[in-house]
Amino acid sequence: MTSGRLSTLAAAMVIARRDFGAILFSRSFFFFLLGPLFPVIIGAMAGGVGQHVQQSTERPELGIAMQGEQVDAMLAAHQTMSGQLGNVLPKLVVIERLEPNQSFDAKAELAARKGNIAAVFSGTLSRPVMTGTVGQIEQWRGPMSMLAARALSDSPKSYPEVALVSTAASTAASERRGQLLTAQAAQTLLFLLTMLLAGMVLSNLVEEKANKIIEILAAAIPMDAVFFGKLFAMLAISLVGIAVWGLTFGGVLLAAGSIGFGLTAPAVGWPIFVALGIVYFAMAYLLLGSVFLSIGSMATTVREVQTISMPVTMMQLMVFFLASYAMTQPGSPVEMVAVAFPFSSPFAMMARAAQDGTLWTHAAALAWQGLCVVIFVRTGARLSRTRVMKSGPAHDKGTKRSLFSRLRPA
């Protein structure tokens, strides 16, 4: 004989199809699609966030490759003039002390992308040569002419002309800055979408709980299946909304004759980066949604939901700040913590995809995040069944128990 009770997976799919169809074809779905207009306005007003990331980027360095005594003269002049010119002068890094008649290939040095070097200063003090991207060497041309003149004489009467040699490819410094901005943009978009859409899980569950529908479902199928089904239904609805917004926004850009934002290509390439963005959004949504489901299942009123969900929202903001800071410290212990902590892991790994081309770390991170989703959903379902759905004297008499009393051990 076979049991008539559905498996957890099959029951979850039934719940997911039911919720997905009910929400997608409801009149309120149209107003849901209008929701992003408000975060867009807020995001435009908070445009100063990009400036914070820009300040977190390492200061570009100018490499020096000259004969030993000339290198010493440049460093001494730099130390003397740094107090007068402040941030106008670049940070100097000695690449190599050349022997007389020794050749040096500045373009090859930049192509090697070592450290944070944005340009190379070579040649001699009287006939210096600066190699790098056009914008960077034009910016440093005047200050370096003054610095070379000071290295030649304590009281210079003329300034040597700095010959500029531009490189077609970007330097390590410019590419890192560009990838950092790409990482920040991806993190911000991922966070805004997650916070905007995850709240639907709460409202849906509280509504069905008030109508006693959740109790009927819990009596018919495993509570785990109810939670998983609702999570995946809400995720599917969110992806539909994102697809509509993306197509609309893309259409506006095409009509305006622009299809890009000037962002630097991520280290993993745009196709993989976009695919990872979709997957990491799903994981961030499922992780936060699993917490919201647990809250909604144990709350009896909207006020209780608002009271207990506010700390979760504030915690998510702190998680975003942690991931944003870790983004500027790749390979550091802070980034390792952000990658390991489940709720910040999708944001931290999204930033890593923009700055590091290694792919196996994403497979490991996604496996870890998926495991955490399963643990959180099962824990929330168990709490809901043992603390909310159980019957007993208090339930039979209709006495009210607060959310916090349900959380206390039996």
- Amino acid found at 124: T
CA-CA distance, 275 to 14, in Å (whole number)?
27
pTM, full prediction: 0.66
- The residue among 211, 231, 350 whose CA lies nearest residue 287 is 231
Q: Return the CA Rg of the chain.
A: 29
Q: How far is CA 236 from CA 203, 214, 257, in A?
A: 16, 20, 31
Going by the DSSP 8-state scheme, the letter that residue 88 receives in this structure is G
CA atoms within 13 A on the CB side of 214: 28
CA-CA distance, 349 to 275, in Å (whole number)?
13
**What is the residue-level pLDDT of the chain in tens, covering all 410 positions?**
445 567 778 888 888 888 888 777 777 777 777 766 565 555 555 554 454 455 445 567 889 999 989 999 999 998 888 877 767 788 898 999 998 888 888 888 887 767 678 889 999 999 999 998 877 888 888 889 999 999 998 888 888 999 988 876 555 666 777 888 899 889 999 998 898 888 777 766 666 666 667 677 767 788 888 889 889 988 998 898 888 888 877 776 676 555 555 678 898 989 999 999 999 999 999 999 888 888 777 766 667 777 777 787 788 889 999 999 998 888 889 999 999 999 999 999 999 999 998 999 999 999 999 999 999 999 988 887 776 555 434 444 444 444 444 445 44
pLDDT of residue 397: 42
Which residues, 6+ apart, have CB-to-CB distance to 116 below 8 Å?
58, 59, 60, 61, 172, 173, 176
Whose tokens are 């149209």? That residue is 30
Q: Are strands 61-67 and 117-123 parallel, antiparallel or unpaired?
A: parallel
Which residues, 6+ apart, have CB-to-CB distance to 359 below 8 Å?
268, 272
Token pair listed for 183: 């990482």
Q: How far apart are the first and last CA of the chain?
A: 37
CA-CA distance, 333 to 315, in Å (whole number)?
20
Q: How many CB atoms lie within 10 A of CB 335?
A: 21
Exposed, middle or buried: residue 236 (CB in 10 Å: 0-12, 13-18, 19+)? middle
pLDDT of residue 180: 86
pLDDT of residue 222: 81
CA-CA distance, 363 to 360, in Å (whole number)?
5
